[in-house]
Amino acid sequence: MQFHTKDLRDKCFLVTGGAGFIGSHIVAYLLAHGAEKVRVLDNLMTGFRKNMEPFMGHPAFEFIEGDIRDFETCKRACSGVDYVTHQAALGSVPRSVKDPVTSNDVNVTGFLNMITAAKDSAVKAFVYASSSSVYGDEPNLPKVEERVGNPLSPYAVTKKTNELYADVFARLYGLKVVGLRYFNVFGPRQDPDGPYAAVIPLFVSGILKKAPVYINGDGEQTRDFTYVENAVQANILGMLTDNDEAFGKAYNVAVGENFSVNFLYESIREMLGQTHEATYRAPREGDIRNSLADITKARTLLGYKPTQRFMEGLKATVDYFKAQ
């Protein structure tokens, strides 16, 4: 599906974190729609070469293995670039609780390096990944962009800091920035392995392998699960919008529907035709209880319109992991 109207044949894009889950889907979209150059900057800490294998022979694809914590690397990556979509980050609330220093180094120092390099290179737009975690202890549903609470984790602090820096760069330097508050993005290529894997690939992988599957708390916590195609759409719209009113803001990227973790588990189990039981354990530190997005702002200013709802995306994701 096409989310843009501009000709991409004379445009150069930088995707930081392009070897990762969301980043690799953005790269695939840009190459499929004829971008003149798509450059990826990734240190392969949480990204994978296998995610870039389909692009390696493409004449428009370029890969820089490097770290956003190094400013000179960021400057080199931004050279000659028209648009930046900054997806490189160290995700996971539990990871940040265990090691807040590294999360800060990557997500705050790395972000500042990238947005500064983008500003110095006079890019046309800088889109970056924020997170629904910035809402913290704000109790009201649905989540509206202008109403946030206190962060509940170091990860949430890093993403809130990104938004503060972006706001200053927009007002001080006139940089055209767009922040995207992702709500539980999922889909093919999301890593099912490791201690900080996301819930959907963990569930699918555990059920298929008949390994222990854990649900934190009572499982009645809810999430606005967002298929990756919707996140790609938001990035493309954010970079290419002609609406000057759209810049300098952060947007919810979600569907506007929420489902419990218990419902998610039952749905996956049903799609796999399995009866594998989950094990319940203590709630996770730093987790938000309920999450649901109001996407009016993104619809109005960016023209965002989710193309994939939860069950459609979940079916595609389960089918992907079954085929692996």
Does a structural domain hold residue 47?
Answer: yes
Residue 6 scores a pLDDT above 90 = no
Residues 6 or more apart whose CB falls under 8 angstroms from that of 269 comprise 207, 275, 276
**Taking the alpha carbons of 252, 257, 263, 267 in that order, is the dihedral positive or negative?**
negative
Does a structural domain hold residue 288?
Answer: no
Phi and psi based region of residue 92 (left: phi greater than 0; alpha: psi -120 to 50; beta: remaining):
left
Does a structural domain hold residue 2?
Answer: no
pLDDT at 297: 98
Active site residues: 155
> How many domains is the chain built from?
1
CATH code of the domain covering residue 233: 3.40.50.720
Does a structural domain hold residue 82?
Answer: yes
pLDDT at 92: 87
Does a structural domain hold residue 86?
Answer: yes
Residue with tokens 């705050």, as numbered in its chain: 108
Mean pLDDT to the nearest integer, 72-91: 97
Q: Which CA distances in Å does 159 have to 106, 129, 294?
A: 11, 8, 19
Does a structural domain hold residue 39?
Answer: yes
| Domain span at 180 | 12-185+226-256+294-307
Q: Which CA distances in Å does 221 have to 121, 207, 218, 299?
A: 43, 20, 7, 26
Does a structural domain hold residue 139?
Answer: yes
Does a structural domain hold residue 52?
Answer: yes
The span from the CA of 89 to the CA of 281, in Å, is: 28
pLDDT at 288: 78
Contact status, residue 310 vs residue 225, Cβ threshold 8 Å: yes
| Per-residue pLDDT reduced to its tens digit, 211-256 | 999 999 999 999 999 999 999 999 999 999 999 999 999 999 999 9
pLDDT at 4: 84
pTM over 0.75, yes/no: yes
